[in-house]
Chain A
């Protein structure tokens, strides 16, 4: 009987669970894995489901735990700070290296956001970042949480967090400038 329930739920909720997982991770592969793990966890815990909440609420609660776990695994591994990222951009006094100084983009830069080619460049540059950096840069938008809350959930210090973001953004900005404005 319980198994029948679960089978029906797979049918009924997979789509919604997948969409939520995608919204939170922006990866189809990760989302499929997370939804699958959610149902497997549900199969294991079926006995503890008392029907106090709706199956949908219960499944979403499991999925949300899985998502947080996923963030934690992606970020919590000690993140290589790579001192050479900083020295590539700044000299020993902390001044911009001549060739890395930000250049003028365009007078009106806001229209760039509507440009699909610009979006592609940005996406390409995001994908080129080390995985953990990429995650740190996106987390704010994926979780819609404050920096403090993100750090708490991931178990990293605020300083560690924004220093990763700083390095990631230096590379990202430079990559966008090189790929977009040199055409």
Chain B
């Protein structure tokens, strides 16, 4: 296979790698070439970017409130137990 041609499996791997690590120049070229020819992987990348943003939004959303007083009591009790032993 030509050095610049990737399978869809490898192309999607590079799409995911790119979110976390810098691609080499060769990898960048391979991915670009592949996307020019492959509609499915182009869509995959679009969806994947959207999902990344969605996950990021979920993480930023509000902390669900818990009853902190209950937690405090629980912890205080544990500390007393610890001190008695």
Contact = CB atoms under 8 A, between A and B. Distances in A.
B46 A109 contact: yes
A163 B71 contact: no
Given A23-B63, A90-B7, A112-B50, A11 B44 contact: no
- Say which size band chain A's interface belongs to: 35 or more
B36 interface: no
B61 to A, nearest CB: 9
The contact size tier of chain B is 35 or more
A79 interface: no
Contact of A95 (B7, B58, B78, B83): B7
A169 B16 contact: yes
Nearest to B38: A96
Given A141-B56, A169-B51, A170-B12, 17 more contacts: A3-B79, A18-B68, A19-B63, A28-B64, A36-B71, A39-B78, A39-B79, A40-B82, A93-B7, A94-B7, A113-B50, A122-B55, A138-B55, A150-B20, A166-B12, A166-B13, A173-B44
Interface of B: 7-10, 12-13, 16-17, 19-21, 40-41, 43-44, 46-48, 50-51, 53-60, 63-64, 66, 68, 71-72, 74-76, 78-79, 82-83
